[in-house]
Amino acid sequence: MEEKVNITICLGSSCFAHGNNVNLKFIKDYLKDNNLMDKVNFKGELCNKLCNEGPVVVIDNVTYKGINKMQLEQVLDKTFKHQ
């Protein structure tokens, strides 16, 4: 069985206000549009103490700090490029 990709988005108030509100919707839409919903474990977490460097998104154990929608798209494209 194929390993699932783990995506965790920080939903603490600082990250959320600094871009993860937009990133959350972007990831959801990306997964839906590309039929990837059953290939990922996508979850939110509360503040993980990196607020100053947020917004924080963790994809397969790599922590992306200060990530915006465009960078996210690149990471997701790279992660799922075999599709």
Give the footprint of ligand FES on this chain (CB under 6 A): 10, 12, 14-15, 47-51, 54, 56
φ/ψ (deg, to 5) at 24: -60, -50
What is the smallest separation between the CB atom of 39 and ligand FES, expressed in angstroms? 25
What does DSSP assign to residue 63? E
- Residue number closest to ligand FES, CB atom: 12
Q: How far is the CB of 25 from ligand FES (least distance, A)?
A: 17
Q: Choose between 22 and 80: whose C-beta lies nearer to ligand FES.
A: 22
Tokens of 62: 């790599």
Question: Measured from the CB atom, is 20 or 36 closer to ligand FES?
Answer: 20
Category of 45 on φ-ψ map: left (φ > 0), alpha (ψ -120 to 50) or beta: beta
Nearest distance, CB of residue 76 and ligand FES, angstroms: 19
Task: Give the whole-angstrom CA distance, residue 1 versus residue 48.
Answer: 31
